[in-house]
């Protein structure tokens, strides 16, 4: 057994710095590269792409990325674990296999394919059998939005990733796996942790939570002494250096920018946290109140002491459904009286919308530069503000009403308060809203499937 | 004396559906008990006022010198539904750091705050 393994994070979301994984591979020693591409509504975007083109439906950036890094990964035995497969894992795997062959790496790359998360085609069957998939937040049964569902995926844990690695895969592609499973999987594979060793599984899960958002634990978006964080332009993405006993060190490649210290790790630990006693994943229930952090040298934080509990009998399901339309329009008002002008323009706009008889579920006005982020906590703005952006959003089921709204913004330039600009982008776009429906499903309903594709 | 939380803590926030979470972390370990005593769920609910339409839940993490708050019904529906600039509650962290607490002069001087 190796005494330690280094697992690097290369993407915190689909759209993160494109070169980050390349820099991780080039920057120093690694055993695994973990890439997290999926956010809650990413699956529905991919589902739409697949509906238009049966070969699409996955994180396409992953394929050119593999073209760049696969030779080095094969040469140095760096394994890649990514949930890039989206709603078309086989399609993604085939594209990567083609890349391997183009690069002359045929026979040297085994691609692990993890499926079984996609339950879109099983929704009616599940509902008919009494699996209600009630909304975790509102407790409504899924039947209320049945005809508007666009994607439905259960979150798989580390187990199928471990199976793929055990079967020799050096690239593992999953669909909706948990972000944390992408990091925990390699640890279980390397260290042979038992399926009920809850403390170690929780340690690996928390390591995954820390690095899953990429540079957000190594200096990015860090409140603590942010002005002194060095060279964010060249920010180093995190690396978890894991040991068989479950302890780990968070660090980054030498010579990169950013900062890993106890405060930066604390901030990431608290990011998107619910009840810290019960961080529930398919693999375990981790207890964040047991984490111990210690400085371990420059840009190194040691994490230990983690306790965990048995996993629950359910898996989380992420369902997306169509929920109407929205549009947001903006205009910029200049000094003097910038805020007063923007407020007057909002009143004029609302009067016109009323006169047109347009009905919306919600109309929201924000004054960017005065109160868009902190609302009333920001207090009354200075009367001398240099400029204010008026930002008005509307939402509703009636697409025609939203379309009509988009035609009322630009006319304010000639028919409202003076010193106004910022309409060069033309009319606001009407967007279809894809909303998110979280639910639980009994684990017994979900069977993951692992296949290993030879190149 | 009044002490603003930016002097005592750093913070990060994010979202879970229509709920914003705010993690509040003491800048020095010895300041954590003061935060735990003064920054109650009720005070945070009052501070955010109309921004937070639901309940505020609070969890303690003494091991990290931190508190975690869940501000329910704060994000205009959350995720893609929300019309807010900050639909993910990313700036709720610094909104909480605007809060002021009362600290007795003696305690403030003992904690190196005055």
B4-40 confidence digits (pLDDT tens): 999 999 999 999 999 999 999 999 999 999 999 999 9
Contact between B58 and B101 under an 8 Å Cβ cutoff? The reply is no
- At residue A393 the predicted structure's pLDDT band, cuts being 50, 70 and 90, is very high
Tell me if A289 and B98 make a contact (CB, 8 A cut-off): no
* List of chain B residues whose C-beta atoms are within 8 Å of the C-beta of residue A223: 10-12, 93-94
Condensed to tens digits (0 to 9), the pLDDT of residues A334-384 reads: 999 999 999 999 999 999 999 999 999 999 999 999 999 999 999 999 999
* A210-A214-A216 Cα angle (round to 5): 75
Could you tell me if A267 lies within 8 Å of chain B, comparing CB atoms?
yes
Contact between A59 and A36 under an 8 Å Cβ cutoff? The reply is no
Contact between A316 and A438 under an 8 Å Cβ cutoff? The reply is yes
Contact between A382 and B56 under an 8 Å Cβ cutoff? The reply is no
Tell me if A395 and B83 make a contact (CB, 8 A cut-off): yes
Side by side, the strands of the sheet bearing B9-16 are B9-16, B19-26, B66-71, B56-61
Whether the predicted model's global pTM rises above the 0.80 cut: yes
pLDDT at position A257, please?
98
Contact between A85 and A173 under an 8 Å Cβ cutoff? The reply is yes
Peptide bond into A336 cis (omega under 30): yes
* List of chain B residues whose C-beta atoms are within 8 Å of the C-beta of residue A433: 80-81
Nearest to A291 among B60, B63, B94 (CB): B63
Q: What three-state secondary structure class fits B50?
A: helix
Spell out the alpha helix ranges (H) of A76-157.
89-102, 123-128
Share of chain A above pLDDT 70, in %: 100
Q: Which of residues 32-61 of B touch A (CB under 8 A)?
A: 47-51, 59-61
- At residue A297 the predicted structure's pLDDT band, cuts being 50, 70 and 90, is very high
Contact between A307 and A199 under an 8 Å Cβ cutoff? The reply is yes
Condensed to tens digits (0 to 9), the pLDDT of residues A407-451 reads: 999 999 999 999 999 988 889 999 999 998 999 999 999 999 999
pLDDT at position A40, please?
78
A408 token code pair: 């009322």
Could you tell me if B83 lies within 8 Å of chain A, comparing CB atoms?
yes
Could you tell me if B14 lies within 8 Å of chain A, comparing CB atoms?
yes
* Closest CA–CA distance from residue A342 to any residue of chain B (Å): 17
Nearest chain B residue to A397 by CA: give it: B81
φ/ψ (deg, to 5) at A285? -115, 110
Contact between B2 and B100 under an 8 Å Cβ cutoff? The reply is yes
Spell out the alpha helix ranges (H) of A244-396.
262-270, 338-355
Contact between A74 and A109 under an 8 Å Cβ cutoff? The reply is yes
Spell out the alpha helix ranges (H) of A136-213.
159-166, 181-191, 198-211
* List of chain B residues whose C-beta atoms are within 8 Å of the C-beta of residue A290: 63
pLDDT at position B59, please?
98
B5 token code pair: 């939380």
Rounded Cα distance between B114 and B112, Å, is 6
Tell me if B80 and A271 make a contact (CB, 8 A cut-off): no
Could you tell me if B76 lies within 8 Å of chain A, comparing CB atoms?
yes
* Closest CA–CA distance from residue A442 to any residue of chain B (Å): 22
Could you tell me if B1 lies within 8 Å of chain A, comparing CB atoms?
no
Tell me if B59 and A276 make a contact (CB, 8 A cut-off): yes
Whether residue A1 is predicted with pLDDT greater than 90 in this model: the reply is: no
Whether residue A44 is predicted with pLDDT greater than 90 in this model: the reply is: no
Rounded Cα distance between A212 and A279, Å, is 15
A431 token code pair: 């967007």
* List of chain B residues whose C-beta atoms are within 8 Å of the C-beta of residue A266: 23, 25, 64-66
Nearest to A273 among B23, B65, B77 (CB): B23
Nearest to A433 among B25, B68, B81 (CB): B81
- Choose among B97, B61, B85, B81: nearest CA to B18: B81
Share of chain A above pLDDT 90, in %: 95
**At A241, which helix (H) or strand (E)?**
strand A238-242
* Closest CA–CA distance from residue A40 to any residue of chain B (Å): 9
pLDDT at position A48, please?
87
Nearest chain B residue to A375 by CA: give it: B51
Contact between A206 and A286 under an 8 Å Cβ cutoff? The reply is yes
**At A25, which helix (H) or strand (E)?**
helix A20-26
Contact between A114 and A448 under an 8 Å Cβ cutoff? The reply is yes
Give the torsion sign (CA, A406, B78, B66, B4): positive
pLDDT at position A126, please?
97
**At B101, which helix (H) or strand (E)?**
strand B100-102
Rounded Cα distance between B68 and A329, Å, is 35
CB pairs A-B closer than 8 Å: 128
φ/ψ (deg, to 5) at A405? -55, -40
Contact between A57 and A270 under an 8 Å Cβ cutoff? The reply is no
Rounded Cα distance between A146 and A202, Å, is 35
| Strand residues in A60-214 grouped as ranges (E) | 79-82, 110-115, 149-154, 171-174
Tell me if B83 and A263 make a contact (CB, 8 A cut-off): no
Q: Which of residues 268-307 of A touch B (CB under 8 A)?
A: 268-277, 288-293, 305
Tell me if A289 and B17 make a contact (CB, 8 A cut-off): no
Rounded Cα distance between A402 and A428, Å, is 10
Contact between A284 and A184 under an 8 Å Cβ cutoff? The reply is no
Condensed to tens digits (0 to 9), the pLDDT of residues A188-206 reads: 999 999 999 999 999 999 9
Q: What three-state secondary structure class fits A211?
A: helix
Side by side, the strands of the sheet bearing A110-115 are A292-295, A301-304, A248-252, A238-242, A5-11, A32-35, A79-82, A171-174, A110-115, A449-454
* List of chain A residues whose C-beta atoms are within 8 Å of the C-beta of residue B47: 377
Q: What three-state secondary structure class fits A72?
A: helix
Could you tell me if B74 lies within 8 Å of chain A, comparing CB atoms?
no
Distance spanning both ends of chain B, measured CA to CA: 9
Whether residue A43 is predicted with pLDDT greater than 90 in this model: the reply is: no
Distance spanning both ends of chain A, measured CA to CA: 28
Could you tell me if A128 lies within 8 Å of chain B, comparing CB atoms?
no
Nearest to A270 among B12, B63, B77 (CB): B12
The mean pLDDT of A256-277, rounded to a whole number, is 98
As a whole number, the mean pLDDT across chain A is 96
DSSP string, A213-237: TGGGGTTTT--TTGGG---GGGBPP
Tell me if B68 and A273 make a contact (CB, 8 A cut-off): yes
Nearest to B81 among A366, A376, A435 (CB): A435
**Dihedral angle computed from the Cα positions of residues A256, A260, A264 and A266, in that order, rounded to the nearest 10 degrees:** 150
Q: Hey, how many other C-beta atoms are within 10 angstroms of the C-beta on A174?
A: 31
Could you tell me if B11 lies within 8 Å of chain A, comparing CB atoms?
yes
A328 token code pair: 């947001």
Rounded Cα distance between A375 and B50, Å, is 9
- At residue B1 the predicted structure's pLDDT band, cuts being 50, 70 and 90, is very high
Rounded Cα distance between A32 and A377, Å, is 45
* Closest CA–CA distance from residue B32 to any residue of chain A (Å): 14
Could you tell me if A359 lies within 8 Å of chain B, comparing CB atoms?
no
Widest pairwise Cα distance in chain B: 49
The mean pLDDT of A74-90, rounded to a whole number, is 97
pLDDT at position A51, please?
87
Rounded Cα distance between A403 and A417, Å, is 24
Could you tell me if B16 lies within 8 Å of chain A, comparing CB atoms?
yes
- At residue A47 the predicted structure's pLDDT band, cuts being 50, 70 and 90, is confident
Condensed to tens digits (0 to 9), the pLDDT of residues A142-191 reads: 999 999 999 999 999 999 999 999 999 999 999 999 999 999 999 999 99
Nearest to B84 among A273, A364, A438 (CB): A364
Could you tell me if A376 lies within 8 Å of chain B, comparing CB atoms?
yes
pLDDT at position A425, please?
83
More confident residue, A415 or A39: A415
Chain A interface, best mutation among B44, B47, B63, B82, by max A CB count within 10 A: B63
């Amino acid at each position: 057994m190796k005494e330690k393994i280094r697992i690097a994070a290369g993407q915190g979301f689909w759209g993160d710095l494109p070169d980050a994984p390349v820099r991780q591979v080039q920057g120093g020693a690694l055993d695994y590269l973990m890439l997290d591409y999926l956010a809650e509504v990413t699956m529905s975007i991919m589902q739409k792409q697949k509906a238009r083109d049966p070969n699409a439906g996955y994180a396409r950036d992953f394929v050119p990325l593999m073209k760049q890094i696969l030779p080095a990964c094969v040469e140095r035995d760096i394994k890649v674990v990514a949930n890039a497969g989206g709603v078309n894992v086989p399609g993604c795997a085939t594209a990567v296999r083609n890349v391997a062959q183009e690069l002359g790496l045929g026979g040297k790359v085994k691609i692990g394919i993890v499926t079984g998360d996609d339950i879109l085609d099983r929704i009616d069957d599940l509902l008919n059998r009494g699996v209600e998939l009630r909304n975790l937040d509102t407790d409504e049964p899924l039947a209320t939005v049945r005809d508007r569902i666009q994607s439905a995926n259960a979150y798989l844990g580390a187990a199928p990733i471990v199976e793929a690695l055990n079967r020799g895969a050096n690239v593992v592609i999953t669909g909706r796996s948990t972000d944390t499973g992408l990091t925990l999987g390699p640890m279980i594979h390397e260290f042979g942790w038992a399926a009920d060793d809850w403390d170690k599984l929780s340690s690996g899960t928390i390591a995954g939570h820390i690095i899953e958002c990429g540079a957000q634990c190594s200096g990015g978006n860090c409140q603590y002494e942010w002005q002194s964080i060095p060279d964010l332009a060249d920010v180093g993405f995190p690396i978890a250096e894991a040991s068989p006993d479950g302890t780990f060190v968070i660090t980054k490649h030498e010579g990169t920018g950013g900062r890993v210290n106890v405060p930066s790790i604390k901030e990431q630990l608290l990011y998107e946290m619910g009840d810290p006693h019960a961080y529930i994943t398919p693999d375990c229930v981790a207890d964040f109140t047991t984490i111990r952090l210690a400085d371990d040298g420059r840009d190194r934080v040691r994490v230990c002491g983690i306790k965990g509990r048995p996993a629950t009998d359910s898996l989380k399901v992420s369902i997306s459904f169509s929920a109407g339309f929205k549009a947001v329009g903006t205009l910029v008002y200049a000094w003097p009286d910038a805020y007063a002008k923007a407020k007057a323009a909002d009143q004029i706009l609302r009067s016109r919308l009323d006169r047109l008889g347009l009905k919306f579920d919600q109309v929201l006005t924000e004054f960017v530069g005065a109160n868009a982020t902190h609302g009333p906590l920001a207090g009354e703005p200075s009367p001398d503000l240099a400029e204010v952006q008026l930002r008005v959003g509307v939402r509703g089921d009636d697409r025609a009403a939203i379309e009509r709204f988009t035609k009322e913004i630009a006319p304010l330039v000639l028919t409202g308060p003076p010193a106004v600009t910022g309409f060069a982008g033309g009319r606001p776009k009407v967007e279809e809203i894809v909303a998110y429906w979280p639910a639980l499903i009994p684990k017994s309903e979900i069977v993951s499937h692992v296949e290993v594709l030879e190149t | 004396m009044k002490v603003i939380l930016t002097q005592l803590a750093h913070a990060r926030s994010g979202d879970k559906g229509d709920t914003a979470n705010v993690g509040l972390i003491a800048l020095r370990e010895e300041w954590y008990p003061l935060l735990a005593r003064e920054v109650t769920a009720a005070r945070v609910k009052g501070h955010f006022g109309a921004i937070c339409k639901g309940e505020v839940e609070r969890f303690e993490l003494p091991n990290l010198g931190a508190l975690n708050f869940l501000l329910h019904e704060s994000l205009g529906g959350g995720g893609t539904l929300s019309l807010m600039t900050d639909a993910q509650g990313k700036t709720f962290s610094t909104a909480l750091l605007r809060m002021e607490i009362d600290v007795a002069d003696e305690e403030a001087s003992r904690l190196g705050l005055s």
